[in-house]
Amino acid sequence: MNFRFYFVTLIFLLSGVYLKAQDFTADKVSGCMPLQVKFTLDYSTIDTTTISTVRWDFGNGTSIVSFNPPIVTYQYEGNFDVSIIIDGDNANPVVKNNYISVHSPLPATFTAEPTDSTLIYRLVPNEDITDNAAVYNYQWQYYSNDSSLYDTTCIVNELTQGNATDTVTFPYTGLFGISLKISDSYGCSDSTYQEIIISEALDTSQAFEVGNVFAPETQDYFVINPQDDAVILNFQVFSRSGILVYRSEAPIIFWDGRSNSGQDLGTGVYFYILEASQGDSIGYYSTKGFIHLFR
């Protein structure tokens, strides 16, 4: 019997070298992008006084040789394998599959849909929840003149996400702001804000007539000309979701089919409101309707 072999083996067992497999840890294994993670060798399983190198592969395209690697940033969502190779022993890496899980926020875009009632709107999130493991918090807030009116919060998951749709009754006509913030159980969040005009229905039977078709490629401008030097027109154009995209105040309106920021507006149906800020005591120029823009 080889007593020397058993004696050496016993010494190793008592010292704990064979009690644990080589290992490493992370200060967090799940979160929202960009996720910063600090990795640490488990010194109860790895004796850095007896090894020369530790090569890390973080699964995100980066690697490093270090006993104490710097913080690693995961910029994209997904599941990432992490591994270490000790002293160039490529045949025996220490691998943790899908060790780091990185999540992205659900975009908080929404559509404001008018109803049969002038003051009531239905607010519908545009993005569907596809992660059946997460819980989401939807917070709707409504503003008038930069002051908060009220808010609504609901907690949903993939199966109950229809409950995140909100119906709001605005207290009066005018300009209102709407914000939506979506946060989830991974710590991710996103928010967006848009403004809508709530206006009473107008009797346009005797109102000034405005064209309803505009093709910027063949017409230089959509022109509204009252042919009255005393009149100043206020012209506003909104997207179908209620976002103000263009506004002009002038004696004659010349719209080139672009937003106020200079971006070409795409083919679609746009809602307009026309009023006279000067020279129209009877409201003849007060009208609204739809413009079909073609490119």
What's the pLDDT score for residue 146?
Answer: 63
> Residues 89, 127: one domain?
no
Residues 64 and 120 in one domain: no
- Residue where a domain stops, chosen among 103, 126, 144: 103
Using pLDDT thresholds of 50, 70 and 90, give the confidence band for residue 203.
Answer: low
For residue 217, tell me if it sits in a domain: yes
Higher-pLDDT residue of 283 and 161 is 161
128-142, 200-214, 278-292, range with greatest mean pLDDT: 128-142
Average pLDDT over residues 173-201: 89
Q: How far apart are CA 4 and CA 200, in angstroms?
A: 98
Shared domain check, 121 and 87? no
CATH number of domain containing 221: 2.60.40.4070
The percent of residues in the chain predicted with pLDDT above 90, rounded, is 68
Q: How much of the chain, in percent, has pLDDT values that exceed 70?
A: 90
186: pLDDT strictly greater than 80: yes
Dump pLDDT digits (tens) for 27-43: 999 999 999 999 999 99
> How high is the pLDDT of residue 17?
41
Structural domain including 153 reads: 110-198
What is the pLDDT, as a whole number, of residue 75?
A: 95
Predicted pLDDT of residue 13: 44
pLDDT digits 0-9 by tens, 71-112: 999 999 999 999 999 999 999 999 999 999 999 999 999 998
Tally of domains within the chain: 3
Hey, what are 215's tokens? 């093709």
Q: Specify whether 74 is located in the same domain as 125.
A: no
CA 251 – CA 174 distance, rounded (Å): 24
* Cα-based distances in Å from 247 to 110, 198, 217, 256, 275: 22, 16, 21, 12, 11
Identify the band that residue 172 occupies on the pLDDT scale cut at 50, 70 and 90.
confident
Q: What's residue 206's pLDDT?
A: 62
Q: How confident is the model at residue 122 (pLDDT cuts 50, 70, 90)?
A: very high
- CA–CA gap between residue 114 and residue 74 (Å, rounded): 41
Which of 142, 171, 198 is the endpoint of a domain? 198
Asked if the structure places residue 206 within a domain, the reply is no
**What is the pLDDT, as a whole number, of residue 14?**
44
In a domain, 115, yes or no: yes
* CATH label of the domain that carries residue 17: 2.60.40.10
The answer to whether residues 248 and 187 belong to one domain is: no
User: Is 204 part of a structural domain of the chain?
Assistant: no
Check pLDDT > 70 for residue 18: no
Average pLDDT, the chain: 88
Whether 120 is covered by a domain: the verdict is: yes
Of 13-17, 42-46, 192-196, the one with minimum mean pLDDT is 13-17
Residues 182 and 249 in one domain: no
d(CA 150, CA 133): 30
Q: Which residue in 239, 233, 143, 158 sits closest to 193, CA to CA?
A: 143
Better-scored residue on pLDDT, 286 or 200: 286
Please check whether residue 275 is in contact with residue 208, taking contact to mean a CB–CB distance below 8 angstroms.
no
